[in-house]
Chain A
Amino acid sequence: MNMKRDYYEDINLFHSKTVIFWFAVLILFLVLYPFLFKNYYIYVANYIAINIIVATGLNILVGYTGLISLGHAGFFCLGAYGTVILMVKAHIPFLIALPLSSLFAGLFGFLIGLPALRLEGPYLSIATLAFGLTITQVVGKLDFFGGREGLHTSKLLIGNLHIDSDRDFYCLLIPITIIMIFIARNIVRTRVGRAFIAIRDAEIAAETIGVNVMLYKTLAFAISAFYTGVAGGLYAFVLRFIEPQLFSQMMSIMFLAMVVVGGIGSTFGSIAGAILLTLLDLELRNILSIPYLGKFLESLSKNFFSITGVSNIQFIVFGFIIIFIMLFEPLGMFGIWIRIKKYWKTWPF
């Protein structure tokens, strides 16, 4: 027979010298980044990294498995509050508190995933939306969680190292982000990922070839919730303070937008989407300080909209982005879901 194929090549990320080279360049850039840029941009990078973790996890649910969630801010909230409370109230070290609360978020994801087995399309959107809204309500009402006042994070220690500045945190966050991306990629490239894609593209065929559809749908929810929980726990330390209002419905929609804008079902698409929307989110807040446009928008807003209109412009832009995507699908949110499922089937090659 001819030469034996090396099947590991098929699934190995570093299958060629080019990939290794570009990965090395990326790592070098990430190492140099904190020396090249000033503080604010370190903060921006941290914020982007956190959203990348969310988008990567959510993409497993939305992009690979073809399910929808409008409530991932809820899991983000669980991860953030879980980590902070375990640290502040139980004095558990960060490196244990973070995985613990993320697992807790993952467990919640599993539970929220259960109705996903029965619900489809708009009903699933509403169920997940309700979850997202409920979590913030519950957290806001309980004094143990700091109520409406919120909670301050405690000192972040890794062993004896005090992680204090944004730069310190960057050094902790970037490796975690890279590991999370790697894990996601390994999952989607092997057996579990194939099962997810199979469910997305042809659920009946997946079932009849031995894929336990119920198990994998709930698993997709659990994984994405875990990822979002990790990101939430880290986010608490970017802000150093958390309050229920942070985890709003807009946040869930922004998460979903990152995945949809970036390109459904592609890990690198999610990363791109996360970077783009995070930058938009941060930069649009400063729109009033742009010399002429800022003044113009302010007067426009004061004359025709509410006074807060311009300061919330990032939401308006997200709204437009989502509307733009929906234009291709007149059925609205349900249509997005259909798109997710049918996109792959109907796209002409």
Chain B
Amino acid sequence: MSFFKVENISISFGGVKALNEIAFEVNKGEIFSIIGPNGSGKTTLFNCISGIYKPTNGKILFNESNIMGKNPHNIAKLGIARTFQNIELFPYMNTMENLMIGRHIYMKTGIFRAAFMLGRKSFAAKEESFHREKVEEIMELLDLQSFRNRFVGGLPYGVQKRIELGRALALEPKILLLDEPCAGMTSDEKEDMIFLVQDILEILGVTILLIEHDMKVVMDISNRILAINFGSPIVIGKPQVVQNHPEVLKAYLGEE
């Protein structure tokens, strides 16, 4: 039985094949990385998995059931969370509230329960407190407590990246899609982020799909790697295998 499997998905934008027959399988508890030059279709692949784009053919199987064609929010409910290459936070909410959005699917307060939030004994108030406590644990893990009540729009880039990760973790995902979590970071921040990712895997047992340009990072932490170029798969395998594959070398050297 496979945990997560992508079966030959393809998608085009105005005649340009952004993804061409991509297929791979991810085992539970591994870090599976996707590499490729700029514009090779990595983010597009994540967008397909999270339901933002609908591939024209193929299947995406999570625990043996096809999630392709489902709406993004339903895919999130199954336990697939992500971060974005260009930070997509809610700048006018504070850190706590940004992470609380990650608890959305676990909460029940609708307009009526919210309307009758009278005092701390009411359902809405109790639920709020309960989930804020949960979020606090994540903030502790990511060292975000000092930003709890700050609007995230004005926080430093590296902090925003961590908040985005926190928001995804608040969903208690089974699979976490990380789109260039280290992009634009200083080498210190990068190192912290790598440790965090490994912690997430070990402490929370989340399976991770990772897109990352920094080859050293990728080779260090990935269990297996998929290399793509112009939307087509080149090779899947262990880091050493992918690293020395002639077409991978060519794709990267050709680019530089």
- A interface, CB within 8 angstroms of B: 5-8, 10-12, 183, 186-187, 189-195, 197-198, 201-202, 204-213, 219, 223, 265, 344-345, 347, 349
> Are B154 and A349 in contact, with the CB atoms below 8 A?
yes
In the complex, what's the smallest C-beta–C-beta distance from A337 to chain B, in angstroms? 17
Q: Does any Cβ of A come within 8 Å of B251's Cβ?
A: no
Within 8 A of A (CB), among B92-124: 92-93, 96-97, 100-102, 104-105, 107, 109-111, 114-117, 120, 124
Residue with the highest number of chain A CB atoms closer than 10 Å, among B50, B92, B133: B92
Given A10-B132, A11-B125, do A191 and B114 touch, yes or no (CB 8 Å)? Answer: yes
Residues on the B chain within 8 Å of A208, using CB: 50-52, 72-73, 75-76, 81-82
Task: Verify B125–A187 contact, CB threshold 8 A.
Answer: no
Residues of A within 8 A of B168 (CB): 209
Say yes or no for B220: interface residue by CB 8 A criterion. no
Q: Is the CB of A10 within 8 A of B96?
A: yes
Expressed in whole angstroms, the Cα–Cα distance for A183 and B122 within the complex equals 14
Would you call the interface of chain B mostly helix, strand, loop, or mixed? Answer: helix
Give which listed residue, A10, A213, A344, A345, contacts B73 with CB less than 8 A.
A213
Most chain A CB within 10 A, of B73, B88, B92, B128, is at: B73
Interface string of B5-41 (1 = CB under 8 A from A): 0000000000000000000000000000000000000
B32, chain A: closest CB distance, angstroms? 19
Q: Which residues of B contact A (CB under 8 A)?
A: 50-52, 71-73, 75-77, 81-82, 84, 88-93, 96-97, 100-102, 104-105, 107, 109-111, 114-117, 120, 124-125, 127-129, 132-133, 136, 151, 153-154, 167-168, 171
B81 & A205 in contact (Cβ 8 Å cutoff): no
**In this complex, what residue of A is CB-closest to B90?**
A201
Q: In the complex, how many angstroms separate the beta carbon of B206 from the nearest chain A beta carbon?
A: 15
* A192 and B111 contacting across the interface, CB-CB below 8 Å: yes
Given A8-B125, A208-B81, A213-B73; A186-B101 close (CB under 8 Å): no
**CB < 8 Å neighbour of B171 from A189, A209, A213:** A209
Give chain A residues whose Cβ lies under 8 Å from the Cβ of B153. Answer: 344, 347, 349
A207 touches B72 (CB 8 A): yes
- Please determine whether A202 and B88 come into contact, CB atoms closer than 8 angstroms: yes
Best-buried of A191, A206, A213 by chain B (most CB within 10 Å): A191
Q: Is the CB of B104 within 8 A of A186?
A: no
| Contact with B90, one of A183, A191, A198, A212 (Cβ below 8 angstroms) | A198
Instruction: Determine the distance from Cα of A260 to Cα of B127 in the docked complex, in whole angstroms.
Output: 33
Chain B residues near A5 (CB, 8 Å)?
A: 132-133, 136
Residue of A nearest to B133 (CB): A7
Q: How far is the CB of A199 from chain B (nearest CB, A)?
A: 9
Q: List, in ascending order, chain A residues with CB within 8 A of B84's CB.
A: 204-205
B76 touches A7 (CB 8 A): no
Chain A: which residue is nearest B135 at the CB level? A7
A195-B104, A202-B89 known; 11 new pairs, CB 8 Å cut-off, are A12-B120, A186-B116, A186-B124, A190-B124, A192-B111, A204-B72, A204-B88, A207-B51, A209-B104, A211-B104, A344-B153
In contact, A183 and B115 (Cβ under 8 angstroms): yes
**B81 A206 Cβ-Cβ under 8 A:** no
Alpha-carbon distance between A206 and B82 when the two chains are bound, in angstroms: 11
Asked if A209 contacts B167 (CB within 8 A), the reply is: yes
A190 to B133, CA, bound (A): 15
Residue of A with least CB distance to B115: A183
State whether A7 touches B132 (Cβ < 8 A): yes
- The contact of B117 among A190, A198, A204, A344, by CB within 8 Å, is A190
Contact, CB under 8 Å: A207 / B120: no
Which residue of the partner chain A has the closest CB to B151?
Answer: A349
A12 to B120, alpha carbons, bound, how many Å? 8
Whether A194 contacts B104 by the Cβ 8 Å rule is yes
* Nearest CB of chain B from residue A7's CB, rounded to whole Å: 4
State the CA gap A10–B131 with chains docked (Å).
Answer: 12
Chain A residues within an 8 Å CB radius of B136: 5
In the assembly, what is the distance between CA of A7 and CA of B100, in Å? 12
29 intermolecular pairs with C-beta atoms under 8 Å apart: A7-B129, A8-B120, A8-B128, A12-B120, A186-B117, A190-B114, A191-B100, A191-B104, A191-B127, A191-B128, A192-B110, A193-B114, A194-B100, A197-B92, A197-B93, A202-B89, A204-B72, A205-B90, A207-B51, A208-B82, A209-B101, A209-B102, A209-B167, A209-B168, A209-B171, A212-B71, A213-B73, A219-B111, A349-B153
CB distance from B149 to the nearest CB of A (A): 8
Verify B128–A197 contact, CB threshold 8 A: no
Q: How far is the CA of A111 from the CA of B159 in the complex (A)?
A: 41
